[in-house]
C-alpha cells in the first residue's frame, strides 16, 4: 500500500494543479477542477485495499484480535495517506483552501471504499469510489455554481455537514468492513 500511496503522492506533487475539464449539466456545459480534487479518492481506496489478504477465508474466521489489528491498520493507513496527500499538495503549491477539504475527503473515500469492500470483496474496494466519483464533479454543482447538499466532498473545509457526513460514512464503512459477525 505504501508504494502505491507514494506513487499517487508523486503524481499529486507533479500534476496536482493541472486542470481537468469534464462535460457537466450547467450553463457553461463543462466543469473544470484541479487534479488535486480527485486525489483523495485513490488514497482512500488504498487505505481499504491494504486490508486485502490472500488468506481472506481464514481472516473471515479469525479471532477478535485480528479485528483490532485491522482497525489500527485502517486508522494508521488513513493517517499516512492523509499526510502523503498533504505533502503532495503543498509540493504542488496547492492553496490551503483546497488542502483541508482534500484531507477530510481521504477519510470520506476510505469509508466509501470500506463499504465497497464489504459489498464486492476487499480486492474490489475501489469500485464504489470510482462509480461515485464519476458523477460527483459534473453534477455536484448547480447551474449557478453552488455546491449541492449531497456533494459532500465538494464542500469547503469549514463545512460542518461535510465533516459529519465524512465521519458517518467512515464509521459505517468501518462497521461493515471490520465486523467479524458479518464475515461468516
pLDDT tens figures, 11-56: 888 888 888 887 766 666 777 778 888 899 999 999 998 887 666 5
pLDDT tens figures, 111-170: 999 999 989 988 899 999 999 988 887 788 777 778 888 998 989 888 999 999 999 999
pTM: 0.87
Closest CA to 108 of 70, 141, 160, 153: 153
Contact 112, 128 (CB under 8 A): yes
Element (H, E) at 28: none
CA-to-CA separations, 107 to 4, 20, 62, 67, 103, in angstroms, rounded: 17, 23, 26, 19, 7
The number of residues making up the chain comes to: 184
Amino acid at each position: 500500500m505504501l508504494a502505491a500511496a507514494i506513487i499517487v503522492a508523486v503524481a499529486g506533487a507533479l500534476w496536482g494543479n493541472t486542470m481537468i475539464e469534464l462535460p457537466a449539466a450547467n450553463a457553461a456545459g463543462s466543469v473544470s477542477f484541479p487534479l488535486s480534487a480527485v486525489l483523495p479518492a485513490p488514497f482512500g481506496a488504498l487505505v481499504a485495499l491494504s486490508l486485502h489478504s490472500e488468506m481472506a477465508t481464514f481472516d473471515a474466521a479469525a479471532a477478535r484480535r485480528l479485528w483490532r489489528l485491522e482497525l489500527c491498520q485502517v486508522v494508521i493507513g488513513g493517517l499516512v495517506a492523509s499526510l502523503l496527500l498533504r505533502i503532495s499538495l503543498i509540493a504542488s503549491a496547492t492553496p490551503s483552501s483546497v488542502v483541508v477539504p482534500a484531507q477530510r475527503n481521504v477519510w470520506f473515500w476510505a469509508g466509501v471504499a470500506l463499504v465497497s469492500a464489504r459489498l464486492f470483496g476487499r480486492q474490489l474496494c475501489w469500485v464504489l469510489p470510482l462509480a461515485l466519483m464519476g458523477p460527483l464533479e459534473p453534477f455536484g454543482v448547480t447551474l449557478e455554481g453552488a455546491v449541492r447538499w449531497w456533494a459532500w466532498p465538494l464542500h469547503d473545509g469549514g463545512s460542518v455537514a461535510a465533516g459529519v457526513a465524512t465521519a458517518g460514512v467512515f464509521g459505517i464503512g468501518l462497521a461493515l468492513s471490520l465486523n467479524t459477525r458479518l464475515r461468516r
